[in-house]
């Protein structure tokens, strides 16, 4: 005779944030019909008003719950887990234990902390990279640094904020939240230092959540040559900066290769040096950003820290060219963003250090262009070419977009040659 399958059924419900008003109708019906109710104390106590006479076990251990259910008669049981059944809940392990007993298992989803938190701050969550740091070894700071939009179930918020500072991710936009949907709900937003101060004064508990917005994730920008990052990717200050479109063409003309040794002479904000670094970070290269102005030096360091992290191949060199270049390794490539009137001497030294060096220079003024043209006649370059780039950007003005033309920029490529100048 064929044995009949047990008619007993355990419904594992997602209880949402622990508030009855957020419980789905199907989950509420399951609780009302239950002859046994299990779950963590906070959740069970919130659900008991729906079925006050129901036997209750406060537990989240699958074997303990299965043994308890075998001790009395029942047909319908409910295990309530926080949030959603499929989002870092105990549903999988418990379901397996119940099925081993021959009981039918049904899952009823609920509102997760992810969906609640994302809705509370007005962010769609379909593109969020999700990580749980709760009760496990996980590098939350690395996760945030590598993803554009992240959601983390936390363990230690203070430690995460310290690690983000160490990685140079100080300017991220963060939200931290806890006790969702309840009277003690708290959601705050700010940068890393702002959240550190809030957490110091009013610490978040170990069950808090974090959403992080990172406009320039390191893994994505390191995957391909990052030519022409938007200007807003960089801290600006008053230092000059090679604009995005000019930077993209200049990087293309540099034609970097694996193992390249690059100079950015007159680094300003460090935008070109940083893009050199993003191109070479995983290709065995070295970048030397040369600058003498204090504010520009600081901006170069900060932008490198933000966008390259702790990469050891990036070097900030304080001093004026050409003197500051003399002790550096021979370059394979050099970018001249500013020469301080020493253009001819800088080119001469670059060729002395490596007669096959590839140099790309930008010029706006006729005087700089004249110096570059003079270099063409004084040095025996194997390649000397020039393009002029004019960029017109369109900006919103009321309901329209109006053109705003930038200054035309000459981009000159010089490659190979000899250090000696011809007389005359």
Handedness of CA 108, 111, 113, 114 (dihedral sign): positive
> Which tens digits make up the pLDDT trace of 263-308?
999 999 999 999 999 999 878 889 999 999 999 999 999 999 989 9
Please report the pLDDT score of residue 353 as a whole number: 92
What contacts 314, CB < 8 A, 6 or more positions away?
273, 277, 287, 289, 304, 308
Mean pLDDT of 101-116: 94
Here the tokens at position 339 are 């020469």
Residue 58: what pLDDT?
Answer: 95
Segment among 9-13, 102-106, 383-387, 414-418 with least mean pLDDT: 414-418
Domains and CATH numbers, the chain: 9-110 (3.40.1010.10), 114-213 (3.30.950.10), 218-415 (3.40.50.150)
Taking 90 as the threshold, does the pLDDT of residue 410 lie above it?
A: yes
- As a whole number of angstroms, the distance between CA 393 and CA 228 comes to 14
Q: Are strands 358-363 and 333-336 parallel, antiparallel or unpaired?
A: parallel
Strands 261-265, 186-190: parallel, antiparallel or unpaired by DSSP?
unpaired
Decide: helix, strand or coil at residue 250. Answer: helix
How far apart are the C-alpha atoms of 60 and 39, rounded to whole Å?
6
- pLDDT category of residue 423 using cuts at 50, 70 and 90: very low
Task: Determine the average pLDDT of the residues in 347-376.
Answer: 93
Kindly state the DSSP code that residue 16 receives in the 8-state scheme: B
CA distance readout (Å), 294 to 9, 58, 290, 307, 406: 72, 63, 12, 20, 27
pLDDT digits (tens, 9 = 90+) for 70-93: 999 999 999 999 899 988 888 888
SS3 113: helix
How far apart are alpha carbons 273 and 24 in whole angstroms?
54
Confidence of residue 399 (pLDDT cuts 50, 70, 90): confident
Q: Bigger pLDDT: 155 or 57?
A: 57
Q: How confident is the model at residue 30 (pLDDT cuts 50, 70, 90)?
A: very high
CB 55 within 8 A of CB 31: no
């Amino acid at each position: 005779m064929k044995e009949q399958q047990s008619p007993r059924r355990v419904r594992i419900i997602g209880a949402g944030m622990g508030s009855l008003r957020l419980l789905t109708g199907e989950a509420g019906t399951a609780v009302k019909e239950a002859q046994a109710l299990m779950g963590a104390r906070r959740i069970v106590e919130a659900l008991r008003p729906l079925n006050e006479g129901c036997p209750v076990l406060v537990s989240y251990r699958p074997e303990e719950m299965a043994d308890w259910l075998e001790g009395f008669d029942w047909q319908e049981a409910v295990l309530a887990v926080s949030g959603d059944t499929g989002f870092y809940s105990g549903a999988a392990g418990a379901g397996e234990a119940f099925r081993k007993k021959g009981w039918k298992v049904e899952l009823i989803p609920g509102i997760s902390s992810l969906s609640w938190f994302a809705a509370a701050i007005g962010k769609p969550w379909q593109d969020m990279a999700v990580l749980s740091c709760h009760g496990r070894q996980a590098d939350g700071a690395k996760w945030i640094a590598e993803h554009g939009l992240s959601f983390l179930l936390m363990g230690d918020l203070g430690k995460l904020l310290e690690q983000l500072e160490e990685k140079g991710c100080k300017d991220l936009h963060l939200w931290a939240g806890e006790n969702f949907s309840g009277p003690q709900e708290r959601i705050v937003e700010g940068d890393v230092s702002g959240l550190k101060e809030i957490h110091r004064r009013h610490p978040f508990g170990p069950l808090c959540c974090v959403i992080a917005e990172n406009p320039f994730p390191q893994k994505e920008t390191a995957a391909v040559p990052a030519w022409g990052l938007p200007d807003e990717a960089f801290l600006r200050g008053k230092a000059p900066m090679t604009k995005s479109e000019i930077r993209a063409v200049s990087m293309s003309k540099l034609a970097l290769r694996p193992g390249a040794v690059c100079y950015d002479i007159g680094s300003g904000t460090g935008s070109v040096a940083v893009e050199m670094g993003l191109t070479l970070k995983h290709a065995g290269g070295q970048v030397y950003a040369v600058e003498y102005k204090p504010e520009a030096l600081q901006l170069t360091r900060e932008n490198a820290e933000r966008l390259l992290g702790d990469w050891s191949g990036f070097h900030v060199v304080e001093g004026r060219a050409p003197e500051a270049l003399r002790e550096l390794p021979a370059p394979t490539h050099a970018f001249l963003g500013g020469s301080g009137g020493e253009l001819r001497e800088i080119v001469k030294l670059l060729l002395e250090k490596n007669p096959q060096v590839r140099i790309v220079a930008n010029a706006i003024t006729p005087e700089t262009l004249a110096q570059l043209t003079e270099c063409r006649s004084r040095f025996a370059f194997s390649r000397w070419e020039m393009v002029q780039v004019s960029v017109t950007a369109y900006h919103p003005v009321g309901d329209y977009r109006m053109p705003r033309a930038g200054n035309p920029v000459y981009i000159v490529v010089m490659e190979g040659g000899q250090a000696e100048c011809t007389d005359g």
